[in-house]
Structure 1
Amino acid sequence: MSTATEHPSEEADSTPVPAARSPLVVQWAERHGVEVARRLADAEDFADQVQRRLRPANTTDTYAKAWRVWTRFCVAQGFPELGPTRGALVAFVVWLLDRGRADGKGYAASSASTILAGAVVELRRRGAEVGRDDQAQARATLEAAAVELLKAGERRGRGQAAAAEVPDLYRVARACPDTLAGARDKALVLTGFHYASRAQDPAGLLAGDVALTPRGLVVSVLTGKTKHSVRDAKINYQQDPEVCPVEAWKAYRTRLGAEAEPRWSEPDAPAFVGVDRHGNVSGGMVPDSVTRAVKRISTRAGIPLAWTGHSLRIGLATTARKKGKDAVAIADQGGWARHSRSMNGYFQRVDGWEDNATAGLT
């Protein structure tokens, strides 16, 4: 990877400056001269490239969606894309809740909040100035409007994802067909449950990231959501081999080695592969295909509340809590911060019933 300062000055003169960055370049030119301004602009471009390479794919997708929604809003209102005034941002969040979706309906408050945050990131990346107070007022407006929607009886969004539970794991294991795809499905769910996977986690795993040891598996999970880039989640052998994630992983890898080309068993191959209806490997799974697979697997197993891509993650937290596991141990296994609000919210699903003022009154 070369740096911007390695670009020869002759080439810098022929490099067009992005329109969104022009005002900054003009300021740099006034202070430091045209040549230095060009070099600083090249450095900004280089920084953008590095950021794009290091940014998790799901975050990039979220920002891209937020920008598309913002541009759609600007077209509808006749506002300039790079004019995020206080009024424009407040109008944006009201529009999001009122009719911001492509089908003309309003977003759920949580989705609107994510879109606002992503739009602000993209606006700043394009050189627009977004005042902190302006953004804060937009967010306060969003929160107040969300409360009014609740008072009016509106309920939007899908709500909390269903948590996978141990009886569900048995249903899944028994419903998986005796095929390569079935072995993959079983391993995907059983291992994912035990390391609290998000949809992007198994999609990002290579075969070499899953190590078999005498006591079980060590899964090296890449994560872009904490300061730790990798966590090593240890998965013990379970007493019942029918739902043992270690046995499921071994069976899947054995079958993959026997039925697919050798390259799919190499350490640098995807840990979980797509399998077409003819039983042929079609490539590595991506987050969307993992989410679809988890939903399809739960439906096939007859699980009453269909799973989403987060169901395995919630399931590990709630099941471990029921079993009395230490909160720190649960956090470390799932890659949560030890005082994570989301993890504590999952705990509340359990504690809200067990530690409840109405429990055992009669």
Structure 2
Amino acid sequence: MTDLLPVPAVSAPAPAVTADARPVHSAADFTLTPAARAALLDAMPASTRRAYERDWDRFAAWCAKNGRVAIPATPETVTSHVTDLTTTPSDTGRPLSPSSIERALAAIRTMHKLADVTAPETKAARKILDAYRERLALAKDPAARTRKADPATPDVLRAMLGTLNRDTLAGKRDAVILLLGYACATRVSELAALDLADVRITSDGLLVTAYRRKIKKFTEVAVPYGRVPATCPVRAVRDLVAAMAEAGRTAGPLLVRIDRHGRIAPPMTRGGRTIGDPQGRMTADAVADVVTKSAAAVVTKSANGVESKGLEGSWTGHSLRRGFATAARRSGAALEKIGRHGGWKDGSTALLGYIEESDRWTDNPVTGL
């Protein structure tokens, strides 16, 4: 893992000398061991590591170009870099969004901590960032707004399911992604991590053992049978498990790569080397793609009968998690039950935001004035 974020060697601060008999810290006390540094990197989600790597490479290149030291960086260097990010076009042809620059600041601070040096103070840099955010907002620039996935509520789910060919193994798998991801309110990484052994079919429904990354523990989620077979997650899982058993797969990942010929875990190579999980486990990005592609395949019809393809809005893997919270709240479920079912932390601001959006009409303070 450590080769993802190479950390320059930086000498530790000199230990303070005390006048009394208390032990005096040495340089080693201010230095992470290689094992501790690797463990910290491993604790970081892979997508975050990749993003931080890109942010750090950009910062280091900017420092080299402008004759500045990347680590330890001064507050003035960080402020100047942030100012440059707000005006210089990125790979998209536009300057980075405020949220991307916020992440870049986090990457710079993280790299300093991993190098056992004090992270630079960012107060001035954040003032520049706040001014940039306000400038975009006043200009009605969409970049000023935080991008959110639209919630995949039941009507949306039904439309997405209608795009699948559920007679095929891939169609059965994709139906499980949509229905189980929604019913368990999983993140795509949590959904991709499920094994066949993690999903038990009982007379009452499913018992799904999912590892919730944000709260760092396993939860057992109960999913009852649905009233409508076509949208029942229990039946969808049962169909997929039976089809995989028929194809010879009775253990390993629940969600696997399937090619257009219906082969499970077909070999993949790049540059002559075998890539991908050897058991064929789908990546979190591949799971999210199923949601995005299903939404793009939905055919809608306007009031005057004109057909168009693709649902309006932003549809990602997180749409399933948001859709569960929205629909559960609208059906009257209590906040704490929604949170515990979906593995949100107690008092989660993200969940509260979903609930507020769900309640904006049903619990509107203007009503009755």
The verdict on a shared fold, with TM-score over 0.5 as the criterion, is yes
Alpha-carbon distance between aligned partners in 2 of 1:186 and 1:149, rounded to the nearest angstrom = 40
**Corresponding position of 2:277:** none
**Corresponding position of 1:280:** 263
**Corresponding position of 1:7:** none
**Corresponding position of 1:298:** 295
Among 106, 121, 124, the alignment partner of 2:113 is: 124
Q: Provide, for residues 168-219 of structure 1, a one-character-per-residue CA deviation record: whole Å limited to 9, x for no partner.
A: 2222333211200000000110000111122212122222222223322222
Deviates more, 1:337-346 or 1:316-325: 337-346
> Are the equivalent residues in 2 in contact too, given 1:189–1:312 (CA < 8 A)?
yes
Amino acid at match of 2:338: I
Among 230, 234, 247, the alignment partner of 2:235 is: 247
Among 190, 204, 224, the alignment partner of 1:236 is: 224
Q: How does 1:17-28 map to 2 (within 5 A)?
A: 20-24=8-12, 27=14
**Corresponding position of 2:170:** 181
Segments of structure 1 that go 5 or more residues without pairing to the other structure are 1-17, 31-35
Aligned residue pairs, count: 329
Alpha-carbon distance between aligned partners in 2 of 1:37 and 1:341, rounded to the nearest angstrom = 40
> Are the equivalent residues in 1 in contact too, given 2:192–2:282 (CA < 8 A)?
yes
Q: How does 1:188-203 map to 2 (within 5 A)?
A: 188-203=177-192
SS in structure 1 of the partner of residue 257 of structure 2: strand
Among 160, 179, 186, the alignment partner of 1:172 is: 160
Alpha-carbon distance between aligned partners in 2 of 1:189 and 1:204, rounded to the nearest angstrom = 15
Alpha-carbon distance between aligned partners in 1 of 2:162 and 2:49, rounded to the nearest angstrom = 37
Alpha-carbon distance between aligned partners in 1 of 2:295 and 2:343, rounded to the nearest angstrom = 24
Segments of structure 2 that go 5 or more residues without pairing to the other structure are 1-5, 18-25, 266-279, 300-309
- How far the C-alpha of 1:241 sits from its partner, in A, is 1.4
Alpha-carbon distance between aligned partners in 2 of 1:19 and 1:254, rounded to the nearest angstrom = 49
Q: Provide, for residues 59-111 of structure 1, a one-character-per-residue CA deviation record: whole Å limited to 9, x for no partner.
A: 32232233233224324433222142111121222223322623442122122
Alpha-carbon distance between aligned partners in 2 of 1:97 and 1:329, rounded to the nearest angstrom = 42
Q: TM-score, normalised by structure 2?
A: 0.80
Q: Provide, for residues 220-264 of structure 1, a one-character-per-residue CA deviation record: whole Å limited to 9, x for no partner.
A: 2223322x32222221211111101111011111111113x43xx
Among 316, 323, 327, the alignment partner of 1:319 is: 327
SS in structure 2 of the partner of residue 276 of structure 1: coil
> Are the equivalent residues in 1 in contact too, given 2:196–2:254 (CA < 8 A)?
yes
Q: TM-score, normalised by structure 1?
A: 0.82
Among 347, 355, 358, the alignment partner of 1:339 is: 347
Q: Provide, for residues 5-24 of structure 1, a one-character-per-residue CA deviation record: whole Å limited to 9, x for no partner.
A: xxxxxxxxxxxxx9833412
Amino acid at match of 1:53: D
SS in structure 2 of the partner of residue 291 of structure 1: helix
**Corresponding position of 1:10:** none
Question: Is 2:158 the partner of 1:150?
Answer: no
SS in structure 1 of the partner of residue 197 of structure 2: helix
Change (3 A) 1:22 1:159: closer
Alpha-carbon distance between aligned partners in 2 of 1:230 and 1:19, rounded to the nearest angstrom = 33
Identity over aligned residues, as a percent? 27
**Corresponding position of 2:88:** 99
> Are the equivalent residues in 2 in contact too, given 1:69–1:100 (CA < 8 A)?
no
